[in-house]
Amino acid sequence: ALQQSFTQRAQKESHRSLNCVQPQASYKVAVLGAGGGIGQPLALLIKMSPLVSDLHLYDIANVKGVAADLSHCNTPSQVLDFTGASELANCLKDVNVVVIPAGVPRKPGMTRDDLFNINANIVKTLVEAVADNCPDAFIHIISNPVNSTVPIAAEVLKQKGVYDPKKLFGVTTLDVVRANTFVAQKKDLRLIDVDVPVVGGHAGITILPLLSKTKPSTSFTDEEVQELTVRIQNAGTEVVEAKAGAGSATLSMAYAAARFVESSLRALDGDSDVYECAFVQSDLTELPFFASRIKLGRNGVEALIPSDLQGLTEYEQQALEALKPELKSSIEKGIGFVQKQP
Ligand code: NAD
Ligand code: LMR
């Protein structure tokens, strides 16, 4: 009884420290690649969510210790570890949201597309297991190159007969997080107020921040637009170079991915006011996949926001046209990878 009362008090304290009215913790989240640079801090941030009842951590190695460590945090979710292909199905049973940061990161001098050969197979195998075990789950793809791994996931799900385009997302939240940070710094705005939609894809020039649509309404000189756009497009490379061979963004990525998970859980929980940018199946342009703002609901993408691509500046319109060939070829490469396999 004493132990129980300590536990209850600790739970209450932890709930108070999360500083909000506590919703019911009832959603199951799985992280595939949970032992990695993104996976570990992401698992920690998800462990802090009051909406999560079960946190399943999967990797090919080294995930047992991560789970044991996290399981001591007195937040609501139960943490379980799963190692290797034989435990993947159990990891995924009844899961509501699957987040996939499994795969290799860039080193200096590499493009995201240089990761294709290794990561395409990893994503394909993991999404096959998702299709078999939790076909209704929201799937968040972090593994690069996102412009190709999302089309790979879509093809796998189609082949398995369970593709729901409303529930497959390429995670581009980090581009928005970066755009918000850099714009707030440049224009001396309160960080909390700034929101910049970022559209297109997630590599180089396919990352297109729509600075003209910044909230609160903000004016930029041509030089500022050029400088900010290039910085946002190259921000991943900025981190890769600073880490000098030790990988790419992990902490800011975990922060961004946790925000996207929390938004998805709020949408699943019935919040009708959830908007995020993500790389999804889209009819906003002639390309089959495109990152843009989406409204999230219980069933995934509830709506795209066509007005986001209307009234663009000449600079944005030209950048939009310029990114299409590269994005198209990355999408086709992903689709071809799955379709060519026997
Ligand atoms: P990392 O090497 O630190 O971690 C990757 C983890 O994946 C490792 O623990 C590894 O064991 C695991 N893994 C490998 N194959 C696996 C498999 N078949 N099943 C399960 N797990 C497997 O790399 P990281 O820094 O965490 O980056 C992971 C990926 O995320 C990279 O592809 C990177 O380019 C990408 N990334 C994307 C964004 C984005 O904005 N979408 C941002 C940063 C990084
Ligand atoms: C990022 O934008 O930080 C990621 O896509 C990782 C990378 O390779 O840049």
d(CA 169, CA 105): 19
pLDDT for 205-244, tens place per residue?
999 999 999 999 999 999 999 999 999 999 999 999 999 9
- Among all bound ligands, the one having the nearest atom to the CA of 239 is 2
In the predicted structure, residue 5 carries a pLDDT above the cut 80? no
Bridge partners of 275, per DSSP, are 295
- Among all bound ligands, the one having the nearest atom to the CA of 144 is 1
Atom 5 in ligand 2: residue holding the nearest Cα: 236
Kindly state the average pLDDT of the residues 263-284: 98
Q: Which long-range contacts (CB under 8 A, 24 or more apart) does 322-325 make?
A: 322/205, 323/200, 323/201, 323/205, 323/206, 323/208, 324/285, 324/286, 324/287
The response to whether residue 249 sits with its C-beta less than 6 Å from ligand 2 reads: yes
- Please report the pLDDT score of residue 230 as a whole number: 98
Instruction: Name the average pLDDT for the chain.
Output: 94
Distance 237 CA to ligand 1 centre (A): 16
Rounded to the nearest angstrom, the gap between the alpha carbon of residue 254 and the centroid of all alpha carbons in its chain is: 9
**22: pLDDT confidence band, cut at 50, 70 and 90?**
low
* Three-point CA angle 18, 24, 27, nearest 5°: 100
In the predicted structure, residue 149 carries a pLDDT above the cut 60? yes
d(CA 215, CA 229): 16
Distance 217 CA to ligand 2 centre (A): 28
Bridge partners of 80, per DSSP, are 56
**342: pLDDT confidence band, cut at 50, 70 and 90?**
confident
The response to whether residue 135 sits with its C-beta less than 6 Å from ligand 1 reads: no
Distance 206 CA to ligand 1 centre (A): 21
Atom 1 in ligand 1: residue holding the nearest Cα: 36
- Among all bound ligands, the one having the nearest atom to the CA of 107 is 2
In the predicted structure, residue 76 carries a pLDDT above the cut 50? yes
Distance 203 CA to ligand 2 centre (A): 8
Please give the ipTM for the structure prediction.
0.99
pLDDT for 51-73, tens place per residue?
999 999 999 999 999 999 999 99
- Catalytic residue flag (residue 202): yes
Kindly state the average pLDDT of the residues 107-129: 98
User: Bigger pLDDT: 273 or 13?
Assistant: 273
Share of the chain above pLDDT 90, in %: 92
Which stretch of 17-26, 145-154, 276-285 has the lowest confidence by average pLDDT? 17-26
Note the helical H segments in the chain.
Answer: 2-17, 39-47, 64-70, 88-92, 116-133, 146-159, 173-187, 222-233, 235-243, 251-268, 314-339
- Please report the pLDDT score of residue 21 as a whole number: 53
Say if CB 59 and CB 102 are below 8 A apart. Answer: yes
The minimum-distance atom of ligand 1 relative to the CA of 256 is: 40
- Please report the pLDDT score of residue 341 as a whole number: 83
**23: pLDDT confidence band, cut at 50, 70 and 90?**
low
Kindly state the average pLDDT of the residues 78-97: 98
Kindly state the average pLDDT of the residues 20-26: 68
Residue among 110, 150, 253, 260 whose CB has most ligand 2 atoms within 8 A, to mutate: 253
Kindly state the average pLDDT of the residues 159-175: 99
The response to whether residue 178 sits with its C-beta less than 6 Å from ligand 2 reads: no
Single out the catalytic residue among 15, 56, 140, 202.
202
Contacts of 310 (CB under 8 A, 6+ apart): none
pTM, to two decimals: 0.94
In the predicted structure, residue 6 carries a pLDDT above the cut 70? no
C-alpha R_g of the chain = 20
Distance 249 CA to ligand 2 centre (A): 6
Say if CB 78 and CB 55 are below 8 A apart. Answer: yes
d(CA 115, CA 126): 16
User: Bigger pLDDT: 208 or 10?
Assistant: 208
